[in-house]
């Protein structure tokens, strides 16, 4: 999981560099999925084989998972053009907090006072980061909030599919869907890169996206979502380092405070749900 989130940070860093270099967002998304799909097809043998026979439910779950990923990628690549990598990462990892709140509202889940306090603390952290009533508020932050909700569903579906289909099958659906959806758009908005480095970066982004999701899916094969969830917060560290060293952007004081609140609340909720049994999923 640490490797996966480190690779995902490289994907976002590459994408931010490309969109800031005036490469159209739809083109960046297309290259991310087309290259991923290319490597999935090349490696679709042996341990990387794509599952050919599956039930209707499995096909539906794979399709929903792929759709969530493609939409989140598109929204994320738009958001990182306007927001710092640290901010987008911190908002996205409010996902466990949002899931816990929704479980109370829609599933009538009975919770103790400590979990309720952790949820409130997490939402305060989100408000501190987003600052919706501040003059510096940017609408792109709302795209990150959407992604936080979608990430929870995505992780849950990944856990359900692990052991049922191969990781390459998940890659095949996501890469194929992203390529098909954005191909017509990229034919309209394509901008040919003017440097070899930009070409290499677009291919590199797709390659590390493929590698990251391969590792991510395999991690869920060996452990539960509850066990793996805390490691996902390492992405905030990776993104902060990338934001500083690549783009010279330091998170302001309030983004740092909000990120700490979100992480603390998320870990608290995880402990409240994960301590009764090591096999219970936290989402």
Q: Is residue 248 part of a domain?
A: yes
The stretch 152-161 carries a mean pLDDT of 80
Give the least confident one: 28-32, 91-95, 106-110.
106-110
- Length of the chain as a residue count: 283
Would residue 181 count as lying in a domain?
Answer: yes
Question: What backbone phi and psi angles, to 5 degrees, belong to 165?
Answer: -130, 165
Res. 72 pLDDT band, cuts 50 70 90:
very high
- The residue assigned the tokens 């958001």 is 79
180 occurs within a structural domain: yes
Q: What is the 3 state secondary structure string of the chain? A: CHHHHHHHHHHHHHHHHHHHCCCCHHHHHHHHHHHHHHHHHHCCCHHHCCCCCCCHHHHHHHHHHHHHHHHHHHHHHHHHHHCCHHHHHHHHCCHHHHHHHHHHHHCCCCCCHHHHHHHHHHHHHHHHHHCCCCCCCCCHHHHHHHHHHHHHHHHHHHHHHECCECHHHHHHHHHHHHHHHHHHHHHHHCCCCCCHHHHHHHHHHHHHHHHHHHHHHHHHHHCCHHHHHHHHHHHHHHHHHHHHHHHCCCCCHHHHHHHHHHHHHHHHHHHHHHCCCCCCCCC
Lowest mean pLDDT among 5-14, 129-138, 261-270: 129-138
pLDDT (average), residues 208-232: 80
Please report whether residue 244 resides in a domain.
yes
Residue 210 inside a domain? The answer is: yes
Residue 266 has pLDDT above 60, yes or no: yes
More confident of the two residues 264 and 156? 264
Do the domain assignments include residue 21? yes
Over the stretch 27-48, which tens digit does the pLDDT of each residue have? Answer: 999 999 999 999 888 876 655 5
- Residue 45 structural domain: 2-274
Contact 92, 202 (CB under 8 A): no
Q: Give the bridge partners for 162, in sequence order.
A: 165
What is the tally of structural domains in the chain?
Answer: 1
pLDDT of res. 48: 57
Instruction: Please state the pTM of the whole predicted model.
Output: 0.81
Tokens of 40: 């999935």
């Amino acid at each position: 999981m640490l490797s996966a989130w480190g690779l995902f940070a490289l994907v976002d860093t590459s994408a931010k560099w490309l969109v800031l270099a005036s490469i159209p967002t739809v083109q960046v998304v297309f290259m991310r999925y087309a290259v991923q799909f290319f490597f999935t097809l090349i490696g679709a043998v042996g341990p990387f084989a794509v599952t050919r026979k599956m039930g209707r439910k499995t096909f539906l779950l794979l399709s929903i998972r792929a759709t969530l990923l493609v939409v989140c990628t598109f929204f994320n690549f738009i958001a990182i053009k306007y927001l710092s990598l640290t901010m987008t990462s911190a908002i996205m990892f409010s996902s466990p907090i949002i899931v816990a709140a929704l479980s109370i509202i829609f599933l009538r889940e009975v919770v103790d006072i400590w979990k309720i306090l952790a949820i409130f603390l997490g939402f305060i952290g989100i408000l501190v980061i987003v600052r919706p009533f501040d003059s510096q508020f940017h609408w792109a932050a709302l795209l990150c909030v959407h992604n936080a909700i979608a990430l929870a569903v995505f992780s849950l579906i990944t856990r359900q599919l692990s052991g049922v289909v191969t990781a390459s099958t998940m890659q095949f659906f996501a890469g194929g869907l992203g390529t098909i959806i954005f191909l017509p758009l990229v034919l309209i908005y394509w901008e040919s890169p003017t440097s070899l480095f930009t070409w290499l970066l677009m291919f590199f982004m797709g390659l590390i996206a493929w590698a990251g999701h391969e590792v991510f899916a395999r991690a869920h094969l060996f452990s539960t979502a509850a066990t793996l969830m805390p490691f996902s917060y390492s992405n905030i560290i990776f993104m902060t380092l990338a934001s500083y060293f690549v783009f010279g952007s330091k998170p302001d004081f309030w983004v740092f405070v909000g990120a700490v609140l979100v992480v603390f609340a998320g870990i608290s909720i995880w402990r409240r749900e994960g301590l009764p049994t090591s096999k219970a999923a936290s989402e």
